[in-house]
Structure 1
Amino acid sequence: MTSPILVTGGTGTLGGHVVPLLRAAGRDVRVLSRHAREPEEGVAYVTGDLLKDEGVEAAVAGSEIVLHLAGGPKGDDVATRNLVRAASRAGVRHLVYISVIGADTVPLGYFAAKLGAERAVAESGLPWTTLRAAQFHDLVLKVVRTMAKLPVIPAPGGVRMQPVDAREVAARLVELTLGDPAGLVPDLAGPKVYPMAELAHGYLRTQGKRRPTLPLRMPGKAGRAYRAGENLSLEGAALGVRTWEDFLAERVG
Structure 2
Amino acid sequence: MESSPQTTLINPHELQLDLALQLLQQAGALLPEAEPYSEAWLQAVIDALCDLSSKDALTGLVNRRSFEMALSREVDRVARSGEPALLLMLDIDHFKSVNDTHGHAAGDLVIQAVARAVEQTVRPMDTVARVGGEEFAVILPNCPATFGATVAERIRERVAASVVQLPSGVSLQATVSLGGAFAPQWVRSSSLLWMERADRQLYRAKAEGRNRACLEMQVESLVSAEEKGMLFAVTQQDSE
> Normalising by the residue count of structure 1, what TM-score does the alignment of the two structures yield?
0.28
Q: Which has the higher helix share?
A: 2
Q: Which has the higher strand share?
A: 1
Which is greater in Rg?
A: 2
